[in-house]
Amino acid sequence: MLIQYSKRASNTPAFALLAEGWNELVQDGFTAEGDGSPPVRPDDEVIYVLGDGEYDVIGVLAFDHTLALTVRMVYVEPSSRRRGVFKAMLADLQEVGRTRGVDRILMPAPVENVPFAAVLKHMGGPTIAVVYDMAATG
């Protein structure tokens, strides 16, 4: 397992896996907030994990850095799940935070993404907020 980092998601072989992950979410019924665009931007930073080959991306974690490191999307190939891929990417993201002097990582988990919420709970992250999405017009 080889962990890579890039300042721009679009410059990596991981971008295709992000698209695959987004497609899987949509197939499972997830809908994006706002304009319906994917939650990841080409200029988001990424940490990704390579399997056997140079372009064999098995996991990707996209994030941005404002006041905290905010994870925009995480996806691990189904065949690579439960093998420590997410844990390795999270450890790398924590190192990015330490290097930048940032002590918080925020990982929004949509209420319908029960598996991701379970993983986060298992990793020891406390729930600090529940966000309600209300229409701006009455």
Domains annotated for the chain, with CATH where assigned, are: 2-122 (3.40.630.30)
| Three-state helix/strand/coil letters over 93-122 | HHHHHHHHCCCCEECCCCCCCHHHHHHHHH
Between 82 and 23, the higher pLDDT residue: 82
Mean pLDDT of 32-40: 56
Between 51 and 137, the higher pLDDT residue: 51
Q: What is the pTM of this model?
A: 0.59
The strand pairing partners of 62, in sequence order, are 46, 73
pLDDT of residue 35: 44
Between 123 and 28, the higher pLDDT residue: 123
In sequence order, which residues have a C-beta less than 8 Å from that of residue 123 and are 6 or more positions away?
Answer: 87, 90
pLDDT of residue 121: 85
Q: Which helix (H) or strand (E) holds 65?
A: strand 57-65
Residue 97: band (very low, low, confident or very high) from pLDDT cuts 50, 70, 90: very high
> Quick check: 20 and 73 in contact, CB under 8 A?
no
- pLDDT tens string 51-72: 887 668 888 888 887 778 888 8
pLDDT of residue 92: 94
